[in-house]
C-alpha cells in the first residue's frame, strides 16, 4: 500500500467511527416516542451496538484473511450503506408493532434496537479489523498500526457523537441525518473501489 492509500484507509476508518456513533446516538431519538428515554432504553441501545460490533469485528477479521483488497474493503462500506437505509424506511412500523405486542418497555426497546441496528452495525464493525489487515505490511509494526487505527476510528466516534448531538439534531430531522450517513458510507465505498481500480490499471500499464 502507498502512503496515499494508507491515508485513505485511515480517513475511511475515521468516517466509519463517526457514522457508527452518530447512528447510535440517533437510536435514542428514534426509540423515544414509543419507549421513552430512560436509562434502560439506552441500556438496550448500547447493548445491541456493543454486541453487533463484537460480531462485526470477528467477521471482519475472518474476511480479511481471504485475499484482502481495497475493493473488498469498499464493498463493506457499500453494504453498510445499503443496510442503514431500512432504518429510515421501517423504523416507525417496526416500533409500532413491537410497542403494541410487548408491554414491558425494557424488552420492547431491546427487541426494537435489535431489529433496527443489529445487522447494519455488524457490517460497520467489520471495517476496523479489515482496515488493520490492509495497513499492516510488517508484523513488527502491527501493534503500532492497530493503535493508530483505533485512535483514528475512536476520534471519529467522539466527533460523531458531539457533532450529531450538538449540531445535526438541531438542524435536521433524524431520517435526514441517517440518510446522510448512509450516503456518506456509500460514497466512501465507491471511492475505495475507484482508487483500487486506478492503482491496478497503473500497475498493468507499467508491467
Residue-wise pLDDT for 81-118, tens only, equals: 999 999 999 999 999 999 999 989 899 999 999 999 99
d(CA 178, CA 20) in angstroms, rounded, equals 10
Read off the pTM: 0.93
Cα-Cα-Cα-Cα torsion 72, 73, 78, 84, nearest 10 degrees, comes to 130
Q: For residues 23 and 119, is the Cβ–Cβ distance under 8 A?
A: no
User: Cell 492503482 sits at which residue?
Assistant: 199
| Contact (CB, 8 A) for 70 and 134 | yes
Interatomic CA distance for residues 129 and 57, integer angstroms:
6
Stretch 26-55: mean pLDDT, rounded? 94
Query: pLDDT category, 199, cuts 50, 70, 90?
Result: confident
* Residue appearing with cell numbers 467477521: 59
Please give the average per-residue pLDDT across 22-51, as a whole number.
Answer: 94
The secondary element (H helix, E strand) that includes residue 72 is helix 70-101
Amino acid at each position: 500500500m502507498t502512503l496515499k492509500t494508507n491515508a485513505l484507509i485511515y480517513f475511511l476508518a475515521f468516517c466509519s467511527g463517526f457514522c457508527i456513533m452518530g447512528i447510535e446516538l440517533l437510536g435514542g431519538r428514534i426509540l423515544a416516542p414509543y419507549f421513552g428515554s430512560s436509562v434502560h432504553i439506552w441500556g438496550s441501545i448500547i447493548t445491541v451496538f456493543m454486541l453487533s460490533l463484537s460480531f462485526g469485528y470477528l467477521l471482519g477479521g475472518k474476511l480479511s484473511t481471504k485475499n484482502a483488497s481495497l475493493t473488498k474493503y469498499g464493498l463493506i462500506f457499500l453494504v453498510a450503506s445499503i443496510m442503514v437505509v431500512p432504518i429510515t424506511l421501517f423504523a416507525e412500523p417496526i416500533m409500532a408493532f413491537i410497542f403494541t405486542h410487548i408491554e414491558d418497555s425494557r424488552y420492547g426497546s431491546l427487541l426494537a434496537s435489535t431489529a433496527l441496528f443489529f445487522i447494519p452495525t455488524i457490517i460497520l464493525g467489520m471495517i476496523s479489523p479489515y482496515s488493520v489487515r490492509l495497513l499492516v505490511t510488517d508484523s513488527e509494526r502491527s501493534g503500532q498500526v492497530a493503535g493508530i487505527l483505533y485512535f483514528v476510528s475512536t476520534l471519529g466516534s467522539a466527533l460523531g457523537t458531539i457533532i450529531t448531538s450538538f449540531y445535526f439534531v438541531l438542524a435536521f430531522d433524524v431520517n435526514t441525518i441517517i440518510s446522510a450517513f448512509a450516503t456518506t458510507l456509500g460514497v466512501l465505498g465507491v471511492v475505495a473501489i475507484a482508487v483500487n481500480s486506478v492503482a491496478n490499471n497503473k500497475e498493468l500499464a507499467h508491467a
